[in-house]
Amino acid sequence: MKNYKFRINGNEYEVEVLDVDGNMAKIEVNGTVFDVEMQLEIPKIKTVVQPPVQARVVKETKPAAEKISGSGKAAEVRAPLPGVIVQVLVRPGDDVNAGQTLCTLETMKMENAIKADNGGKVASVNITPGQSVLQDEVLIIINQ
């Protein structure tokens, strides 16, 4: 499998890992075979508490959004941070209310609910679950 060279207290050891099964390994050290039990250490993870992330909404007029409902005002819901879309809770044509969760975005191992600032009709959904998005990328367009 893998070969290593170790220097311990000035002595050099040639180690070859022959087989690994769970926490047991068969290794050869300078020509002698040993069965070694590995102790798997679980790393301690610090929990970081962050305030909820709010979506940035940019109000613009978009021709594509106008075709769906006929209104001239459209709000773009953008990603506040880069991350991965966990779930999408709306589809084009859905009516949404202010404060309604539109999708969930995972950023830095935390899930953030992206909510609508204003009510309206969903004109387009530009995301799918599992998709990576960049900061300020347009996620959803809502006609008001």
The whole-model pTM stands at 0.52
Q: What is the pLDDT of residues 21-40, one digit of tens each?
A: 878 889 898 888 988 888 76
pLDDT of 42 strictly over 50: yes
Q: What is the pLDDT of residues 109-144, one digit of tens each?
A: 889 999 998 899 999 999 999 999 998 899 999 998
pLDDT of 44 strictly over 70: no
Top CATH class of 56-143 equals: mainly beta
Other beta carbons within 10 Å of 100? 15
Domain limits, the chain: 2-37, 56-143
